[in-house]
């Protein structure tokens, strides 16, 4: 028996980000909506923001260093909103068996390497700390030099589905500096707003959890069932975009 289509509503969202204004046409469910349902929209919004910021950087004479096949930044801790962690776990679960086994093995090997280096992989252990402590922990994470489980031959194997934090990371400093970046050696393309942070802040309100580390995401999802949706699509999108103005 065919299932009835989910009623949706379409409208325009105006994003005011610093001096930038962007208008997006969005379609969301009318009824209860989970954050994971907004990820395609979050990715589209991130793409639009990054595109504008890139154009501004290029117009200012800067050259984007990021290239296909450069995975220099893919040893950094990747923070995910809980909804993104669930999306990645679903992506892995849907992979063909051999590929899925390889990915799960890389997650396990990465976690073992961090454990051997005595580096925590829980998001709240790294990003929940005060700024000084967070810098120490992030530096320790990067010093362990463990590649993201999705990095294959220095390319992202899930590029169309990569997290928003990865989409937002662009630099004009030498690419090799991303291997062990410091504020002095990295020139990031500044964004007028961060969808990844807005989603994380919105998810904190809904789930009480702000950041999940990518390397911990499969384990975290296995022990954190998705909460029931308590907001309608329009309410949720308003909540996320309200957070965007604070990023
Ligand atoms: S998800 Fe892809 S882009 Fe992001 S860190 Fe992993 S390999 Fe790199």
Tell me: the pLDDT tens digits for 155-186?
Answer: 999 999 999 999 999 999 999 999 888 889 99
Ligand 1: centre distance to CA 149 (Å): 8
Total domains in the chain come to 1
- Report yes or no on 7 lying in a domain: no
Domain that holds residue 213: 30-244
Q: Is the CB of 150 under 6 A from ligand 1?
A: yes
pLDDT at 162: 97
Place 225 in a pLDDT band, splitting at 50, 70 and 90. Answer: confident
Q: Is the CB of 146 under 6 A from ligand 1?
A: no
pLDDT at 16: 80
- Report yes or no on 10 lying in a domain: no
pLDDT at 182: 87
Residue-wise pLDDT for 4-54, tens only, equals 778 999 999 888 877 778 888 999 999 999 999 999 999 999 999 999 999
Kindly give the interhelix angle for 82-93 and 97-116, rounded to the nearest 10 degrees.
Answer: 130
- Report yes or no on 213 lying in a domain: yes
Query: Which atom in ligand 1 lies closest to the alpha carbon of residue 152?
Result: 7
Computed over every residue of the chain, the mean pLDDT equals 91
Question: How far does CA 215 lie from the centroid of its chain?
Answer: 12
As a whole number of angstroms, the distance between CA 200 and CA 87 comes to 14
- Report yes or no on 146 lying in a domain: yes
Look at the block and give the residue holding tokens 């390397």. 215
């Amino acid at each position: 028996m065919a299932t009835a289509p989910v009623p949706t509503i379409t409208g325009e969202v105006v994003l005011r980000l610093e001096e930038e204004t962007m208008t997006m046409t969005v379609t969301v469910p009318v009824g209860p909506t989970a954050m994971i349902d907004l990820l395609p929209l979050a990715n589209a919004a991130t793409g639009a923001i990054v595109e504008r910021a890139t154009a501004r950087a290029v117009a200012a004479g800067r050259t984007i260093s990021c290239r296909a096949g450069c995975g220099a930044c893919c040893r950094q801790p990747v923070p995910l909103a809980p909804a993104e962690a669930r999306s990645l776990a679903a992506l892995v679960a849907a992979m063909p068996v051999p590929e899925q086994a390889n990915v799960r093995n890389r997650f396990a090997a990465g976690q073992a390497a961090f454990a051997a280096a005595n580096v925590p992989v829980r998001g709240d252990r790294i990003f929940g700390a005060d700024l000084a402590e967070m810098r120490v922990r992030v530096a320790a994470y990067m010093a362990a030099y463990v590649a993201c489980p999705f990095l294959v031959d220095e390319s992202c194997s899930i590029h169309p589905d990569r997290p928003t934090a990865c989409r937002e990371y662009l630099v004009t400093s030498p690419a090799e500096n991303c291997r062990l970046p410091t504020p002095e050696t990295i020139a990031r393309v500044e964004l007028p707003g961060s969808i990844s942070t807005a989603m994380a802040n919105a998810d904190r309100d809904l789930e009480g959890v702000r950041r999940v580390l990518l390397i911990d995401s499969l384990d975290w999802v296995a022990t954190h069932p998705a909460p029931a949706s308590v907001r309608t699509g329009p309410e949720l999108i308003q909540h996320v975009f309200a957070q965007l103005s604070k990023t």
